[in-house]
């Protein structure tokens, strides 16, 4: 059961991030229907986790698998796009 729950949950996180207007990976965010699909995938993933692990543990795993990758995606995107670049052999901002 977790074999189906894990990809559904992670796909939901990716779709939620890429459909946000402040995402930094794509030039344009995905259309609004991607958010609806992400919501459906997140709900399906949560139900599958609950069926596989029980109510308490399943909900906790589903919430952590929605939260942690979303946080990491935002941090990695911010680090990739917002880090200081080398300027004339030195690290730092342009004066």
Residues of the chain with pLDDT under 70: 82-95
Which pLDDT value is given to residue 76? Answer: 87
Which pLDDT value is given to residue 24? Answer: 85
Reported as type and span, the H/E element at residue 55 is helix 55-82
CA distance 89 to 18: 34
**Cα–Cα–Cα angle for 57, 59, 62, rounded to 5 degrees:** 105
Which pLDDT value is given to residue 90? Answer: 54
* Length of the chain measured in residues: 95
Reported as type and span, the H/E element at residue 58 is helix 55-82
Which pLDDT value is given to residue 79? Answer: 76
Which pLDDT value is given to residue 64? Answer: 97
């Amino acid at each position: 059961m977790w074999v189906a729950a894990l990809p559904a949950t992670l796909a939901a996180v990716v779709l939620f991030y890429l459909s946000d207007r402040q995402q930094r990976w794509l030039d344009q965010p995905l259309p609004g229907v991607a958010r609806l699909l992400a919501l459906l995938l997140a709900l399906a993933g949560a139900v599958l986790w609950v069926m596989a692990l029980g109510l308490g543990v399943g909900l906790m795993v589903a919430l952590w698998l929605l939260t942690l990758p979303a946080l990491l995606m935002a941090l990695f995107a911010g680090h990739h796009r917002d880090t200081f670049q080398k300027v004339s052999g030195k690290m730092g901002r342009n004066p």
